[in-house]
């Protein structure tokens, strides 16, 4: 029998569509040998972690310990301030000790931080089992934004990405993703206003946990972060995109496209050998139709690979008629990779070509280059691999 605290399935359509989703991943060849390892790890931890629970799940957990239900709200509120058991001062000491012996918090602790000259801060988090993931905090005029990881490493194999090297160790649980936000907020002493799921991992391969995390993140008795200020980034898995749209959560979908055609995309992203650009674009159109929200296409400009004016024209042709915006960013190069970011002239020309063709686009700054700003670099350094 499913333990009562595993997942409150209320409003979680993924479970109803789970068989279809798993089947689609098999069709696309996206289930790897590490899947079983991740599931075992998830199940072991899931039964124990308080940060994975909604208030109603906490109520049941406390009732099973013979405690009053009203304590659940108090505990939930403390947990979502990033508090440890010792800090829960309005909870009786005996109950705090019981909670500590029966459950883990299940968050993510900052074990390293690096601050860039441009103010960007990169975090290395450690999870309960010693796995490490990264997050990046950036300050903008509109507030503080945090980029978080959804998996420890990534199986998608993108040729320009440090997170792909070594593959995916496991999925992150909802409370671990929440823990990335809570720890960063305590570190900086400011409210995190925007969250971007664009660190290590492919969120659509951990969708059930991601959806629960999003519900916890926006819970009115918790951090209460508006989901309109949250972006979920994917390399473009159509079934996952459809399920995210069906979830009814008003997040922004960001698709890492990085190429105007299959030939270039296949050279950069192995997933493109299974999922053609046309399928990705079709899924984006479906998302816009279901949600009424525009889609963001991420496009890393790589010198001599995808940054010619003809590539911009081809991209504009593909995106015509879609309610979308293109974020261009010169690639943050890795030492292990042969790819380098495009220069300023080529970048400006690419942007102008797109906008002249009436495609909404902006050039994003490449932040944190002096602190291993690219996805997955810091984790590799502290896992003993110099980059």
Sole binder of ligand SF4 in the list 14, 61, 164, 216 (CB under 6 A): 164
Q: Is 176 labeled as catalytic in the residue annotation?
A: no
Nearer to ligand SF4, 155 or 208 (CB): 155
206 binds ligand SF4 (CB under 6 A): no
Shortest distance, CB of residue 376 to ligand SF4, whole angstroms?
6
Which of 41, 163, 171, 252 binds ligand SF4 (CB under 6 A)? It is 163
Residue 83 or 159 with smaller CB distance to ligand SF4:
159
Q: In what order do the strands lie in the sheet with 143-147?
A: 109-115, 121-126, 132-140, 143-147, 192-197, 230-234, 252-256, 295-301, 324-330, 361-363
194 is a contact residue toward ligand SF4 (CB under 6 A): no
Shortest spacing between CB 271 and ligand SF4, in angstroms: 8
154 binds ligand SF4 (CB under 6 A): yes
Question: Backbone phi, then psi, for 7, in 5-degree steps?
Answer: -155, 125
Q: Which stretch binds ligand SF4 (CB under 6 A): 38-46, 86-94, 159-167, 321-329?
A: 159-167
Q: Give least dist CB 259 to ligand SF4, A.
A: 13
| CB-nearer residue toward ligand SF4: 62 or 161 | 161
CA distance 39 to 220: 30
Q: How many CA atoms lie within 13 A of 204 on its CB side?
A: 26
Q: Which range of residues in 69-77, 96-104, 200-208, 366-374 is near ligand SF4 by CB under 6 A?
A: 200-208
Q: Is 324 a catalytic residue?
A: no
Please, which residue, 55 or 238, has the CB nearer to ligand SF4? 238
Q: Which residue in this structure is represented by tokens 């072991």?
A: 44
Structure tokens at 277: 């650009």
Nearer to ligand SF4 by Cβ, of 13 and 157: the residue is 157
Q: Verify binding: residue 195, ligand SF4, rule CB under 6 A.
A: no
Listed residue (296, 368, 357) closest to 328, CA to CA: 296
Answer yes or no: are the C-beta atoms of 258 and 299 closer than 8 Å. Answer: yes
The encoded tokens of residue 229 equal 């200020």
Which residues lie below 8 Å from residue 36, measured CB to CB, with a gap of 6+? none
**Token pair of 335, please?**
């030492």
Tokens of 231: 């972006």
- From the list 59, 134, 176, 180, the catalytic residue is 134
As a whole number of angstroms, the distance between CA 85 and CA 82 comes to: 10
> With binding defined as CB under 6 A, does residue 156 bind ligand SF4?
yes
Q: How far apart are CA 369 and CA 363, in angstroms?
A: 16
Of residues 364-383, those binding ligand SF4 (CB under 6 A): 375
- Out of 61, 161, 173, 331, name the contact with ligand SF4 by CB under 6 A: 161
> Is residue 202 a contact point for ligand SF4 (CB under 6 A)?
yes
Least distance (Å) between residue 200 CB and ligand SF4: 5
User: Site mask, ligand SF4, residues 216-245, x = CB under 6 A?
Assistant: -------------------x----------
Q: Does 135 bind ligand SF4 (CB under 6 A)?
A: no
Specify the residue, 88 or 205, whose C-beta has the smaller distance to ligand SF4: 205
- Torsion, Cα of 120, 147, 314, 303 (10° steps): 40
Name residues contacting ligand SF4, limited to 255-274 (CB under 6 A). Answer: 256
Nearest to 4 by CA among 39, 47, 38, 41: 47
Q: Are 138 and 196 in contact (CB under 8 A)?
A: no
Residue 247 CA to chain centroid, in angstroms? 16
Of 79 and 156, nearer to ligand SF4 (C-beta) is 156
d(CA 232, CA 122): 19
Active site residues: 134, 375
Q: What is the binding site for ligand SF4 (CB under 6 A)?
A: 154, 156-158, 161, 163-164, 200-202, 235, 256, 375
């Amino acid at each position: 029998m499913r333990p009562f605290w595993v997942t409150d399935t209320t409003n979680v359509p993924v479970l109803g569509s789970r068989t279809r989703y798993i089947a689609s991943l098999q069709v696309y060849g996206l289930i790897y040998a590490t899947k079983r390892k991740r599931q075992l790890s998830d199940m072991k931890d899931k039964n124990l972690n308080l940060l994975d629970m909604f208030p109603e799940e906490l109520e049941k957990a406390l009732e099973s310990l013979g405690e009053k239900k009203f304590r659940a709200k108090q505990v939930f509120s403390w947990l979502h301030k990033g508090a440890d058991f010792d800090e829960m001062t309005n909870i009786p000491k005996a109950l705090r000790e019981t909670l500590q012996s029966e459950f883990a918090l299940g968050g993510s602790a900052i074990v390293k931080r690096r601050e860039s000259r441009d103010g960007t801060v990169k975090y290395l988090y450690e999870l309960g089992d010693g796995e490490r993931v990264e997050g990046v905090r950036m300050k903008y005029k509109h507030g503080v934004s945090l980029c978080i990881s959804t998996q420890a490493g990534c199986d998608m194999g993108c040729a320009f990405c440090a997170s792909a090297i070594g593959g995916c160790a496991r999925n992150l649980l909802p409370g671990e993703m929440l823990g990335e936000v809570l720890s960063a907020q305590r570190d900086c002493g400011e409210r995190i206003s925007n969250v971007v799921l664009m660190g290590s991992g492919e969120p659509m391969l951990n969708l059930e946990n991601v959806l629960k995390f999003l519900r916890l993140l926006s819970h009115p008795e918790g951090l209460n972060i508006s989901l309109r200020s949250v972006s979920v980034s994917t390399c473009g898995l159509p079934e996952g995109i459809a399920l995210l749209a069906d979830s009814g959560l008003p997040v922004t979908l960001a698709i890492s496209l990085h190429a105007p055609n299959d030939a270039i995309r296949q050279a950069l992203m192995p997933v493109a050998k299974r999922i053609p650009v046309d399928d990705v674009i079709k899924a984006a159109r479906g998302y816009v139709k279901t949600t009424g929200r525009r889609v963001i296409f991420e496009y890393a400009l790589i010198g001599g690979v995808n940054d010619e004016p003809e590539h911009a024209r081809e991209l504009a042709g593909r995106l015509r008629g879609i309610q979308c915006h293109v974020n261009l960013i010169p690639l943050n190069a890795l030492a292990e990779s042969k790819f380098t970011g495009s220069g300023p002239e080529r970048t400006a020309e690419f942007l102008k070509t797109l906008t002249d063709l009436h495609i909404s686009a902006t050039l994003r700054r490449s932040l944190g280059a002096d602190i291993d700003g690219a996805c997955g670099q810091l984790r590799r350094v502290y896992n003993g691999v110099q980059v």
